[in-house]
Amino acid sequence: MSNINACQFLADTVSTTLGPRGMDKLIHHGMDRITISNDGATIMKLLDVAHPAAALLVDIAKSQDAEIGDGTTSVVLIAVELMKMAKPFIEEGVHPQTVIQNYRLACQLCQQYINEMAYSVADKSDAERTDLLVKVAQTAMNSKLIASHREQFARMAVEAVQSLDEDLREDMIGIKQVTGGAMEESELIKGVAFKKSFSYAGFEQQPKRIPNPKICLLNLELELKNENSKAEVRITNPEQYQSIVDAEWSIIFTKLEKIVATGANVILSRLAIGDLATQYFADRNIFCAGRVTQEDLNRASKATGAQIQTSVNDITPSALGTCGLFEEKQVGAERYNFFTDCPQAKTASIILRGGASQFIEEAERSLHDAIMVVRRSVKNKAVVAGAGAIEMELSKRLREHSLTIAGKGQLIISAFAQALEVIPRQLSQNAGFDATDILDQLRQKHFTGFRWAGVDITNEGVCDAFERCIWEPSNMKRNALNAATEACCLILGIDETIKAPQSEQAPAPPRGGMGGMRGMMPGMRGGRGGMAPRGRR
């Protein structure tokens, strides 16, 4: 019971963030670090949850965020509501294993019902599929801080995902934050864009716009190294010292000459490119940038076809990449390098603009959720209606199924069905509606065969969520129900919490003297006739 009560307290914290009218949480952590968010996973991560059972809810929110990207608040609410509905059975003496067994049966039935009801888009044309994905992304953004710009950002998310290859790797979409400007100034780059790295002397003499460049990607340093080792070199005349100095310069110049010989006119390196190399490249009308992050270097490789080199020896023309245009532009207060019109652009970059840094950070989290949802929709190719419609339909079907079962299972599955109503109820409460009235209307609509009836946030009532284009990926609902049921069953299966005692190390005996003898005497830990150590009498 204490475990369930702890989880209930945690659910009360995030429940008000659900839905388009959900509220945000301002979380103050650290000295001056502030996060404003209504994303369930973000809030759960930042909360300092000490209770071991409640920590399970943090884990399922993280797993939902990693697997699907959205539905993190829903999964916590459903899990806690399932525990809440199980409390009366436990109090009346029903064995927890009976509840767990029937809960798992109900979850399996829900999976089957979702598969039956899911609307497949596999046979749709590309234009229809794109339109559907945009609506799915808009639904994911309805409850976010950038809901007023959801049309612009939903299309950005869809175009970014569609520019990826069949693996749909999330790290191939780079999201960059630039403080200043309006949200409408955010843009999608079908290619690579990253902030100008630290630059040495001679950087301003380099070209800032190169059509059809040849791009060389490196993972090595191009600068003179100061030898700080304790090696000792003995020389007999000054000319030998000069030969050592000349060798250092010869090594760096040989590297630079080999790079120039490849014909590349854009050089990017993950490690530093020093002032000597920067000026050397500037004199030959070549652009270079060092200390480029590994993530940006990988995306540049994917977009331009260049291969990352760890040596300057034998760089073949096939190892170089190209794009339609390279340019360096001012974005807000920052300088950015753009690689656009890439021949095999399997990557994309999104530059987010806005006022406060907290606002841009929340916009990035919202966009990340939308991108993840679109990725899952592209892979899964099936959607269901949101706005609480799918939960109410599952609840209705489970109630009908429970009437075919005799014994305790009938009541337990009926309780599972009632727990699913927490989503439309919370949506109504967060919008300021009468939740009881809305739920009564929804039950009546679903029992008369109106499958996609959901909460109408705009007009305070019931609407056809499918016609309103409130769509969500079917695998998001399946994953949420699975994770919530497993977390609930895990906590219900705990009958006692035991704190493992920590092993206490005996203090080391003092060296020499009587104390040392006393430490070696038998029976020193007390007992009959034993001698207690000093300080413990």
Catalytic (active site) residue 497: no
94: buried, middle or exposed (CB in 10 Å: 19+, 13-18, 0-12)? middle
Pair 510, 516: CB distance under 8 Å = yes
What is the rounded distance in angstroms from the CA atom of residue 83 to the CA atom of residue 3? 9
Catalytic (active site) residue 39: yes
Q: 414: number of CA atoms within 13 Å, CB side?
A: 12
Please provide the DSSP assignment of 483-503 as one string.
HHHHHHHHHHT-----PPPPP
Q: Which residue out of 17, 35, 39, 42 is catalytically annotated?
A: 39
Pair 139, 472: CB distance under 8 Å = yes
Query: Rounded to whole angstroms, what are the CA distances from 198 to 30, 110, 201, 307?
Result: 28, 54, 10, 23
Sequence-distant (≥ 6) Cβ neighbours of residue 506 within 8 angstroms: none
Q: Which amino acid is at 450?
A: F
Residue 57, φ and ψ in degrees, nearest 5: -65, -35
Catalytic (active site) residue 35: no
What is the rounded distance in angstroms from the CA atom of residue 454 to the CA atom of residue 5? 30
What is the rounded distance in angstroms from the CA atom of residue 314 to the CA atom of residue 337? 27
Q: Which residue out of 73, 262, 322, 485 is catalytically annotated?
A: 73
What is the rounded distance in angstroms from the CA atom of residue 43 to the CA atom of residue 38? 7
Q: Which amino acid is at 439?
A: L
Query: Rounded to whole angstroms, what are the CA distances from 338 to 208, 274, 303, 349, 367?
Result: 10, 22, 12, 10, 21
Q: Which residue out of 65, 70, 369, 456 is catalytically annotated?
A: 369
* Strand 266-269 relative to strand 348-354, pairing: unpaired
Catalytic (active site) residue 72: yes
Q: Which residue out of 72, 139, 322, 485 is catalytically annotated?
A: 72
Active site residues: 39, 72-73, 369
